[in-house]
Amino acid sequence: MSQKAEKLIDKKGLRLDGRKPDELRPIKIEVGILSNADGSAYIEQGKNKILAAAFGPREMHPKHLALPDRMVIRCRYHMAPFSVQERKSPSPSRREIELSKVIKESLEPTAFMEYYPRTGVDIFIEVLQADGSTRCASITAASVAMADAGIPMRDLVAACSAGKVDDTIILDLMDTEDKQGSADVPVALMPNQNAITLLQMDGTLTSEEFENAVNLALEGCRKIYAMQKEALKTKYVDVKEVEE
Amino acid sequence: MSSVITRVKQKQIAQTIAKGKRLDDRGLTDYREMKIEQGIIERAEGSARILLGKTEVLVGIKIEIGEPFSDTPNEGVLTVNAELVPLASPTFEPGPPDENSIELARIVDRGIRESKTIDTEKLVIEPGKKVFVVFVDVYVLNHDGNLIDASALAAVAALLNTKMSNYEIKDDEVKIKPGYTQLPVKKHPITVTFAKISDKLVIDPWLEEEQVMDARISMAIDDDGNICAIQKGGSGYFTEKEVLEVAKMAREKAAEIRKKLKW
């Protein structure tokens, strides 16, 4: 990290792609685009292009993994071999296995798990193109896919990263900022419950910088939350009009 | 990583913690007794064993000569791996690493990497071609909760105990010379883990507390009191206030441990 001399923030205080430090990348969320999944979503956040699908609640396979008192959520985060600069082997890397676990744990608090004992929900995330903060965009999309599948939920989860480059705290890191910056803090939030369901960090921050980064990321999550709701409304309002 | 725990016990743990006490008589922010031994595996370049209550973790360091990554030609390589060996718990099974052991390894890795514990620039033999590769292998020998803190502490203790062979370059080949040099260790990160039970934060959860907890959060703190890695785990959540409280308490606790270990 941070060994290259290239400036990530110019004299005007703007970032490489012209954003202000506290500005999100353009985000587009589409709901229900996969006809075979029970619920699905597609997100574009800057150059990130990610598909998420939810299946279930359905019978668990293998059966011994089912729980008698609640449903089980399983998650697979996977990057396409062509999603990054150098081809990534399609077999799951250690990073992907860890991310699958933390993404699953960020989604679990939202679902009413006890409503569907002995069942399973499978969430599949495919990163088609990656440009930094893919775990956050994946959570945002997966949460919308779960809602689209009709799984009873307490709230949506919106996720966003914050970090530090050139001594400035910034929102929504893209790939170069993640690689050359000095810290990356991905955060996921259930805004109505004020519940942080994912928090990770790597890099170095003082406690003051950390507090600022978390606050900025939470602000980003709330903005993304509005877009998630808008995307869901767009789909379901359209459906209603067709029926009438 | 969970095994069976009765409802009565679950309730008892949660109620005791709600009152600000714990079943093993510790305060909410107390660690269990900690014992670290270094250099117990002679074949390894470095090693350390930690006892944290009944949790026992052994870390061995091996050093080999390898190639640097193409994007960091002037740095040595750090590799962390964790094994949840089946003799350590009835819930550990033989086979390739599962998500729990991968997560554990990656948390330990981030603590060491992000705090720049090892001076990796001093591990270069020939820039872009030959460097020392440091393998940190975390071996869990007995699981009684809080493997993260135990493994992270044992890893740093083992690195502090690591000696590299001296070498010379003759006709483009690396020849090992007699004698050893200490591995260049610059920082001493300390990872502090909290469990959330009954809306209270408890430090260093033991196994039964981990089975009851809603969620956990770990923070690695470097020598200057900066936060250098965080991981939230478990299917519960934290509020913003709790996160900031954890950050504050983790720094205090890390400073306390640092003083005790003289790191």
| B12 within domain boundaries | no
Pair of tokens at residue B185: 């260790």
CA dihedral A129, A135, A137, A140 (to 10 degrees): 140
> Does pLDDT of A46 surpass 70?
yes
Distance CA A10, CA A128 (A): 30
Nearest to B227 among A102, A195, A205 (CB): A205
Residue B3 lies in a domain: no
pLDDT at A2: 44
CATH no. for A27-243: 3.30.230.70
Q: Tell me how many domains chain B contains.
A: 1
**Angstroms from B170 CA to nearest CA on chain A:** 31
The answer to whether A202 contacts chain B (CB < 8 Å) is yes
Residue B14 lies in a domain: no
Size of interface A-B (CB pairs under 8 A): 96
Whose CA is closest to A133, among A25, A13, A227, A215?
A25
Q: Which of A5-9, A93-97, B91-95, B183-187 has the lowest mean pLDDT?
A: A5-9
CA distances (Å), origin A29, targets A138, A230, B115: 11, 9, 37
Cα–Cα distances in Å, from B185 out to B113, B162, B228? 12, 9, 16
Domain ranges for chain A: 27-243
Closest residue of A to B214, CA-based?
A: A109
pLDDT for res A3: 47
Length of chain A: 244
Mean pLDDT of A4-8: 68
Please tell me whether residue A104 adopts helix, strand or coil conformation. Answer: helix
- B106 contacts A202? CB cut-off 8 A: no
> C-alpha distances in angstroms, B108 versus A82, A153, B102, B118, B232?
30, 34, 10, 13, 14
Domain that holds residue B112: 26-261
CB contact under 8 A, B229 and A201: yes
What does pLDDT average to in each consecutive run of 10 residues of chain B (263 residues)?
75 94 94 96 96 97 94 95 95 93 97 96 93 96 97 98 89 84 96 96 96 96 96 96 97 96 93
Residue A1, pLDDT score: 46
The sheet with strand B215-221 has its strands ordered as A168-171, A158-165, A183-190, A195-205, B227-233, B215-221, B190-197, B200-203
Tokens representing B24 are 């093993």
CATH code where residue B184 lies: 3.30.230.70
**Within a domain: B18:** no
Write out pLDDT tens, residues A118-144: 999 999 999 999 999 999 999 999 999
Q: How far is B245 from chain A (nearest CA, A)?
A: 10
- Helix (H), strand (E) at residue A5: none
Measure CB to CB from residue B243 to each of A98, A193, A196 and give the nearest one. Answer: A196
* Residue B86 belongs to some domain of the structure: yes
> What is the radius of gyration, based on Cα positions, of chain A?
18
Give ipTM to 2 decimals.
Answer: 0.88
Please write the tens of the pLDDT for every residue from A208-226: 999 999 999 999 999 999 9
Tell me, what's the pLDDT at B173?
83
What's the pLDDT score for residue A244? 60
For all residues of chain A together, what is the average pLDDT? 94
Find the angle CA(A115)-CA(A118)-CA(A119) to the nearest 5 degrees: 75
**Structure-block tokens of residue A18:** 């012209």
Residue B11: inside a domain, yes or no? no
